Amino acid sequence: MEFSVCRTPIQVSDAAFEIVVAQLRKKPSSVLLLSSGSTPLGLYKRLVAAHRDQDLDFSKAVLIGLDEYLGLDAHYESSFHYFFNHELLSRVNVSRKNVFLFNPHTTDPKKECEKMAVILRHHRPDLAILGIGRNGHIAFNEPGGALNSKCRVVDVSHATRLDNARFFGSLDAVPRQAMTLGIFDILYAHRVLLMATGAEKAHAVHAALDESVSVNCPASALQRHDDTVVLCDAWAASKTRYPPAGPVLGGIEIANVFSLPRGKRVVFLSSRLSDVSLSAGALAQSLARKNTVVSVVAEHAQSFERSVIESQAKSQARMLGFKCLFVRSKAASKKDLLGDEKKWRYLLSTLSPDIVVVPNRFSTDSTDRWVRKVGLAYATTKKRCAVWSFETDRGLFEAKACDLVFEFGTDMLLSKIVAVRRLSHLRHLRLDVSAKSLAVFRKLA
Ligand code: GLP
């Protein structure tokens, strides 16, 4: 199973579009199984546009609808028949003889299903395009149904009727039965493409991908198919155990909180009390949720009001969810710092981090450069210790100097600001310079 996480639903549609277009270009007579619902709408829009503007050709393609409600007479516009025609079929050059949809007006649904089974026998699908229900259903294969099911009439679950009531105006109007291709029919496709967007799908995606195959989550049966592509946005992927790969912007990969590691020991090294919370607070806070995070600060013995500043720094760290330790140096001079090296080495070997986070290499500050050196030296002695770096007002990343950055939500930034306000000496910091560094990335965007 191939799993890709995109940042937004738009990018999910873009990625799905690439897959469908590649399929049609490789084999113009491809047989596609089509899903209804809001998730594939972006994909269908792109296909229509590509047909209009780039001559994407559907003349030989065979398009088959996955499912259909039963008993819709008064609500034809809520039928999948209407949906497929309206969103895709009437807007591309597909030949009507190559379109196979369940008839929503059928008086003999069983016969309609038999008809569809024969069609499938003659047209083995090349690509099944699927969405997923909140309860893990695919097409209308609801939880509890057999995982080797074939085309048949099914009861629509209460949960799915509730979810789909938005297309009907009321729950009462949502049909209780439907016709659907079975799980077996879907797995019969050479390739399966599953799309999921939005946090409400996170639980279903997690059950489908991470848990064992079970009738409780029909989509989990896709694990048995050896060519399944799952495309999710960051929200739908948020409960999975797979680390999502982020999109790339100007050569820099943009990762989000879901890409962060779990279960690691992370140590931030800094030369100022406020650096970790101010400059890397969102990263430290996010990491602290699933990892053990400690921030180690080089402290100068003659620091003004040291005890006040230390207690402020500790409370800041507590708010953000990590621990703060201090290495008190006798003096600020380089010579004395070198004398402290032993202390740092000992502390680091006790903390035994999997990741050390140090000020970046552009810092103009000698203490920054010194703690960076200590971190790098430790990482080279320990197998598999990663080194990350953060930006401060004394060391801005130069454009293109890094290959991955983390992006955080406003909630993170707000709690960081609250934590930072606890430090009374912040009026001395050059916040304007930090703001400028953000602008560098905005320009890249
Ligand atoms: C319906 C369809 C499914 C679809 C699901 C999710 O129940 N039968 O094929 O995947 O809805 O729809 P949406 O993408 O709107 O969340």
Cβ–ligand 1 distance for 39 under 6 Å, the answer yes
Q: Which two tokens stand for residue 285?
A: 């806070």
Q: Specify the ligand 1 atom closest to the Cα of 200.
A: 16
Asked whether the predicted pLDDT for residue 445 surpasses 70, the reply is no
- Smallest Cα–Cα separation from 263: which of 295, 241, 278, 296? 241
Which of 163, 193, 201 has most ligand 1 atoms within 8 Å of CB, for mutation? 163
- Give the C-alpha separation, 417 to 408, whole Å: 13
The Cβ-side half-sphere exposure at 194, using a 13 Å CA radius, reads 31
Which of 12, 32, 39 has most ligand 1 atoms within 8 Å of CB, for mutation? 39
**Contact indicator for 34, 61 with CB cutoff of 8 Å:** no
pLDDT tens for each residue of 47-70: 999 999 999 999 999 999 999 999
φ/ψ of residue 262, rounded to 5:
-125, 155
Asked whether the predicted pLDDT for residue 431 surpasses 60, the reply is no
Q: How close is the Cα of 93 to the center of ligand 1, in Å?
A: 25
pLDDT tens for each residue of 183-204: 999 999 999 999 999 888 999 9
Higher local confidence (pLDDT), 314 or 400: 314
Cβ–ligand 1 distance for 316 under 6 Å, the answer no
- Give the C-alpha separation, 74 to 391, whole Å: 62
Asked whether the predicted pLDDT for residue 214 surpasses 90, the reply is yes
Q: Which H or E run contains 334?
A: helix 334-351
For the chain, what percentages of helix, strand and coil (3-state, to nearest 5) are there?
45, 20, 35
| Helical packing angle, 366-381 and 334-351, nearest 10° | 40
Cβ–ligand 1 distance for 8 under 6 Å, the answer no
Q: Measure the CA dihedral 377/259/271/374, to 10°.
A: 0
Query: Alpha helices, DSSP H only, in 33-174?
Result: 41-54, 80-87, 109-122, 158-164
Higher local confidence (pLDDT), 421 or 52: 52
- Give the C-alpha separation, 301 to 332, whole Å: 8
Q: How close is the Cα of 203 to the center of ligand 1, in Å?
A: 15
Cβ–ligand 1 distance for 219 under 6 Å, the answer no
pLDDT value of residue 444: 43
Asked whether the predicted pLDDT for residue 426 surpasses 60, the reply is no
Higher local confidence (pLDDT), 220 or 74: 220
Which of 13, 33, 36 has most ligand 1 atoms within 8 Å of CB, for mutation? 36
pLDDT value of residue 254: 67
Which of 12, 13, 35 has most ligand 1 atoms within 8 Å of CB, for mutation? 35
Q: Whose CA is nearest to atom 6 of ligand 1?
A: 133
**Contact indicator for 171, 160 with CB cutoff of 8 Å:** no
φ/ψ of residue 291, rounded to 5:
-140, 170
pLDDT tens for each residue of 159-188: 999 999 888 888 999 999 999 999 999 999
Structure-token match 């049909």, residue found: 175
Q: Which two tokens stand for residue 372?
A: 């960076």
Q: Residue 246 CB: number of other CB atoms within 10 A?
A: 21
Query: Alpha helices, DSSP H only, in 352-430?
Result: 366-381, 410-420
**Backbone CA torsion sign across 30, 33, 37, 40:** negative
Residue 250 Ramachandran class (φ > 0 left, ψ -120 to 50 alpha, else beta): left
**Picking from 136-145, 178-187, 226-235, 251-260, which range would have the lowest pLDDT averaged per residue?**
251-260
pLDDT value of residue 442: 45
Query: Alpha helices, DSSP H only, in 171-274?
Result: 183-187, 202-210
Q: Specify the ligand 1 atom closest to the Cα of 178.
A: 8
Q: How close is the Cα of 328 to the center of ligand 1, in Å?
A: 60
pLDDT tens for each residue of 236-288: 888 887 655 555 555 666 676 667 788 899 999 988 777 777 778 888 988 99
Q: Which two tokens stand for residue 226?
A: 């050896």
Active-site amino acid positions: 67, 135, 137, 142
* pLDDT class of 38 with cuts at 50, 70, 90: very high
* pLDDT class of 335 with cuts at 50, 70, 90: low
pLDDT value of residue 290: 86
pLDDT value of residue 420: 61
pLDDT value of residue 112: 97
Cβ–ligand 1 distance for 240 under 6 Å, the answer no
CA 131 to each of CA 80, 125, 192, 244, 418: distance values in angstroms, whole numbers, following the listed order? 14, 16, 11, 19, 41
What is the percent of the chain where pLDDT is above 70? 83
Q: Whose CA is nearest to atom 3 of ligand 1?
A: 139
Cβ–ligand 1 distance for 78 under 6 Å, the answer no
pLDDT value of residue 180: 98
Q: Which two tokens stand for residue 414?
A: 């707000």
How much is the mean pLDDT over the chain?
85
pLDDT tens for each residue of 336-384: 666 678 888 889 999 999 999 999 888 888 888 888 999 999 998 887 8
Q: Whose CA is nearest to atom 12 of ligand 1?
A: 37
Q: Which H or E run contains 269?
A: strand 265-270
Higher local confidence (pLDDT), 207 or 246: 207
**Picking from 4-8, 24-28, 79-83, which range would have the lowest pLDDT averaged per residue?**
4-8
Reported pTM: 0.61
| Helical packing angle, 410-420 and 306-320, nearest 10° | 160
Q: Whose CA is nearest to atom 10 of ligand 1?
A: 131
Residues found in the chain: 445
Higher local confidence (pLDDT), 331 or 262: 262
